[in-house]
Each structure stands twice: as C-alpha cells, then as structure tokens.
Amino acid sequence: MKSEIIKYIESQKSLHLYKNLQNAFIDVLSHLTQEQFEKIRNYLIIMAFHQGTVGQVMHFDARKSKFAVMQLYIPNNMPKDVMGWVVAHELGHVMQERNWKESDGINLEDDATKFAEKIGYPKTKKISDWLVAEKA
C-alpha cells in the first residue's frame, strides 16, 4: 500500500513544496486500512498553505462524484508530532463525510480526535499546548 500512498501524495499538487507535510501524510495514511485509504484517495483533495500565504488557486480535474477539500495552514514552526496529529484529526473529518451543523456541538471534533487516536495519533498535552499557543 505504501507505493499507492506515495502516488496519491504526489498527485496532490499543493503539497509539492512541503516535504515535512508529505512525510506526515505518508506516515498517517500508512496507519489506515485499505478501505479507509481508498475512501481518502477517491474522495479527498488536499490544499496546503504555508505561513504568509494570503491566497492560492489550484485547478483540479473534473470528478463525477462528491469530494472533500482539506485546507491546511502550515506555520513554519509546526512540530512534526503536531503536524501528524493535525493530519490524522482532519482525516477523521473526511471519514465523517459531511460538514458540521450547529446541532453537532463538539461531537464531530471529538469524533475526529478519537479517529486520530485510534490510528495512533493521540492528542498529547504537548500537542494541545502548542495548538493553544498558536491560536493566541
């Protein structure tokens, strides 16, 4: 499955400048089942933005079915463990196959965090502290 994962990551054009993010995706995706990976490969387009980017346009081939776009803003100082957790957490949202509704409260966030933990990416205190500091 590793070669399929690498091919998928190479197909995501917005990742071409971000070797650390490519590696994080490869690592996280290798923790998925084949069925989960197939869902990601067939359903997800990744948009990565680096620090200081105010806009970006990407062109995609037409698709015949529903798809999701994952938008990631990557600060220059994001640690590797935080990046891995963020990727795993956001893939948890992809698996939910729908957008947030007000009636969800924090349930979708909790579910995405549980998904990340299930595939080997728990939200540690270090990760939580970094995310809080980044928002400040």
Tens of pLDDT, residues 19-64: 999 999 999 999 999 999 998 898 888 888 876 666 666 666 667 7
pTM of the model: 0.83
**pLDDT at residue 6, rounded to an integer:** 94
The 10 Å CB-count burial string (b at 16+, else e) for 126-135 is ebeebeeeee
**pLDDT at residue 107, rounded to an integer:** 82
The full length of the chain comes to: 136
